[in-house]
Structures are given as C-alpha cells and as structure tokens.
Amino acid sequence: MMDRNTQAKFRFIFCLLFFLPSALSAVTAIEQSKRLQLVYTHLLDLRSNSAPHSENAGTLQISAELQPLPAIDARIGAKTEPLAVLPVSGRLRLRGFLLDGWMLGFSGVPGLTVGKQKATALQVETAWRKNWGGLQTGLRFSQSFWKVEGPMTTAKYKDRLENRQQNADLSIGMDWETWQPYVGIGRGILNSNLWIEESQITLKIENHGYAYQFVGVGILGEAWSFNFEQHQTENFLLHFQFSATRRF
C-alpha cells in the first residue's frame, strides 16, 4: 500500500494531467460571472456515474450518489459572491432496464430546501447498452431541468437560477468480472438563466456547447454495485462522483 505522501504526489500528477488551466491571464467581470455560472451549472448536471454494463430486462436500480464539490473562488470583480454551498451534494437515481439493452433513468428533486436555497429538478436519461463479450458499450442521452431559488449574489435578495442541459455521451468499458473500468466522452448543450433580483437583470447563457470526458470504475457485486467516476468538463472543471447501487 502506498504511503500518504506517495498517494498525494500520485494524485497531484494525475490531476495535472487532467486539468488544463485557462490560457487567459486576465479577465473581465463578465467573463468571471459567466464562468462561475457555468461551473455551478455543470456541477448540477446528470452524468452517467455508471459503467456501461447491460442488465437483464426488468432489472431496477436505485442509486445514491455523492459528489464532493471543488473549492470555488466566487470572486467577480472586487466582490466575492456570498454563495453558501455544502461541500458535498447528493442525489437519488432510479434506473430501469428494458428489452435489448435499453435503459431509462430518472432523478428528481421535489422543491427541496437546503440552507436558504430551494431546488427543484427533473432529470431523465435513456441509454442503449450492449455487452460484446468482455467489452461493454453504452450510448446515453440525458436531459436536465434545474431551478434553484435563494440568495446567490447578495444575502438580502432572492435570485433564481434556471438550467436546461442536454447531453449525449458514449462510453466503452471492460467486463473484468467484479471490476468494470470504463472511459467515455460526451457533448452537451446548455441554456441557463440567472435572474439577479437586486440588479433586475438576467444573465443568460444560450445554446452553450461543451465537451466532457470521464473515466470510471465500477465494482459489481450480486445485489450491490459501487462506482467511482472522474469528470473533466470543458477545460476548467474537474469533479468526481461516487455511487452505491442496489439492484432488484
């Protein structure tokens, strides 16, 4: 087993390989504002978080997902936005397998209030997965709607963030019995409106295309499976997710 220092060095190098810092050395507040909106929006997105392993028709999966959030520098101009975000976010997801490797997935947040912010979300996905001997492939489409209301740019006013995101991704994995390593690439389109009550303006991101890559490993048990998935989104966001899934 590696000691703690070796682990830290290994992790640092691994992160460097993924993380391509922005070429910009100086910015405007508008660019900072758009980037911050993009970061929060991508963190709310519905990603695969699962090896492309095909299940028998009729199988249901319930997953609990955890996502540690990166440290976020919320400075815009000379102001730090007073965003209060938990260090970890979670989500429950239901997936059902149909005939011929088709899968339908669903996740929702029914007006949940966390801190001072109220979130409502509906996220759906469909995928086609096929096992080719020891090789697994998956093609997935997802659609996310998010509405978050609460103080974001000042503590006094109630702002509103509304996102619509569509993703398509392709993943390829290996079936090594218990272990299911996989990689994938995806493309998405984002529309996001941030209504700022104090300034009475809407910061819009319209039809923003983005790319993401991911690498993950699943651990497949009889009734339970576990998954770790690392994402890189555009050239400015790295985040990872864990999930524990119970099959029925």
Rounded Cα distance between 37 and 26, Å, is 18
Residue among 23, 71, 86, 99 that touches another protein (CB under 8 A): 71
- And the tokens for 138? 């998956």
**Contact positions with another protein (CB under 8 A) in 138-197:** 153
Compare residues 21 and 110 and give the one whose CB is closer to another protein: 21
Residue 11 CB, shortest distance to another protein, in Å, is 6
Q: State yes or no: residue 11 binds another protein (CB under 8 A).
A: yes
Q: What track of x and - describes contact with another protein for positions 20 through 59 (by CB under 8 A)?
A: -xx-xxxxxxxxxx-xx--x--------------------
Residue 111 CB, shortest distance to another protein, in Å, is 27
Residue 75 CB, shortest distance to another protein, in Å, is 4
Cβ contact 85:114 at 8 Å? no
Residue 31 CB, shortest distance to another protein, in Å, is 6
Residue 54 CB, shortest distance to another protein, in Å, is 20
- And the tokens for 66? 């955890």
- And the tokens for 14? 């691994």
CB atoms within 10 A of CB 44: 20
CA angle 197, 199, 204 (to 5 degrees): 80
One DSSP character per residue, 80-146 reads E------SEEEEEEEEEE-GGGEEEEEEEEEEEEETTEEEEEEEEEEEEEEEETTEEEEEEEEEEEE
Coil vs helix vs strand at 4: helix
φ, ψ of residue 178 in degrees (nearest 5): -70, -35
Rounded Cα distance between 2 and 8, Å, is 10
Residue among 58, 77, 90, 134 that touches another protein (CB under 8 A): 77
Measure Cα distances from 98 to 28, 74, 203 in Å: 49, 43, 40
Span interacting with another protein, options 46-54, 129-137, 141-149, 221-229, rule CB under 8 A: 221-229
Residue 57 CB, shortest distance to another protein, in Å, is 23
Compare residues 16 and 135 and give the one whose CB is closer to another protein: 16
Span interacting with another protein, options 89-97, 135-143, 166-174, 213-221, rule CB under 8 A: 213-221
Please tell me the count of residues contacting another protein according to CB under 8 A.
64
Q: Which residues in this chain contact another protein in the complex, by CB under 8 A?
A: 2, 7, 10-11, 14-15, 18-19, 21-22, 24-33, 35-36, 39, 68-81, 153, 198-204, 217, 219, 221-228, 230, 235-240, 242, 244
